[in-house]
């Protein structure tokens, strides 16, 4: 087995609490140096203070790094979370504004060559995520999530095609809520 790509989550740069562009650039550079060129970035839509212009800057930044895939998820505030408790004091975009941001993102990413192939997923031609599409076709997949772990450790594992710590989830386990 080998590693076909990696995904990195960043918050969209709203201009108030920007993601650390140096960290993201370093992470992407390390992955590319390790020979991993199929790289996806995740962006959030509907975060506080976000505008079309700040979202455009975030998408431009992702594109400038040469990533092949962008996932763009709308932030949903769930009941019982700290955000929900304080949502009246935080300037979240309303549903109409979120819709406008989403439609803008779809059009703008398309203009940069990222074609939409799922509701929240956009890719350069030939870089659609097999992992994402496997959910719809109920195929087997391998997934790993390591929180707050040194990327260089992950890159070394990827270079050696190590699978220790990976979990194979069969379709029936996903259907039973194992994910």
- Name the percent of the chain lying above pLDDT 70: 63
| Residue 56 pLDDT class (50, 70, 90 cuts) | very high
Cα→Cα distances 36→40, 76, 95, Å: 11, 31, 37
Report pTM: 0.69
Helix (H) or strand (E) holding 129: none
Tell me the average pLDDT of the chain. 74
* CB neighbours of residue 58 within 10 Å: 28
Q: Cβ-count burial of 175 within 10 angstroms (0-12 exposed, 13-18 middle, 19+ buried)?
A: exposed
Q: Which residues pair with 69 in a beta bridge?
A: 40, 123
- Name the percent of the chain lying above pLDDT 90: 25
Assess whether pLDDT exceeds 70 at residue 161: no
**Model pLDDT, residue 177:** 41
Condensed to tens digits (0 to 9), the pLDDT of residues 81-138 reads 887 888 888 888 889 999 999 999 999 999 999 999 988 999 999 888 765 555 556 6
As a whole number of angstroms, the distance between CA 131 and CA 163 comes to: 16
**Model pLDDT, residue 135:** 55
The residue that leads in pLDDT, 111 or 16, is: 111
As a whole number of angstroms, the distance between CA 97 and CA 111 comes to: 21
Tokens of residue 86, six digits? 């304080």
165 alpha carbon, distance to own chain's centre: 21
As a whole number of angstroms, the distance between CA 5 and CA 136 comes to: 20
Residues 6+ apart with CB under 8 A from 24: 8, 10, 41, 61, 65
Helix axes 151-159 and 21-33, enclosed angle (nearest 10):
20
DSSP, collapsed to helix, strand or coil, labels residue 113 as coil
């Amino acid at each position: 087995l080998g590693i076909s790509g990696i995904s990195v989550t960043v918050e969209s740069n709203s201009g108030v609490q920007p993601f650390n562009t140096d960290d993201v650039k370093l992470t992407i550079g390390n992955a590319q140096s390790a020979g991993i060129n199929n790289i996806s970035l995740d962006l959030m839509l509907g975060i506080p203070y976000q505008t079309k212009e700040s979202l455009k800057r975030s998408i431009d930044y992702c594109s400038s790094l040469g990533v092949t895939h962008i996932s763009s998820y709308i932030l949903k505030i769930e009941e019982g979370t700290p955000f929900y408790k304080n949502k009246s004091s935080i300037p979240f975009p309303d549903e109409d504004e979120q819709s406008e941001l989403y439609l803008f993102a779809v059009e703008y990413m398309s203009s940069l060559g990222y074609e939409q192939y799922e509701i929240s997923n956009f890719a350069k031609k030939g870089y659609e995520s097999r992992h994402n599409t496997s959910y719809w076709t109920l195929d087997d997949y391998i997934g790993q999530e390591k929180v707050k772990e040194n990327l260089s450790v992950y890159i070394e594992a990827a270079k050696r095609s190590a699978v220790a710590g990976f979990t194979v989830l069969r379709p029936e386990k996903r259907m039973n809520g194992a994910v």
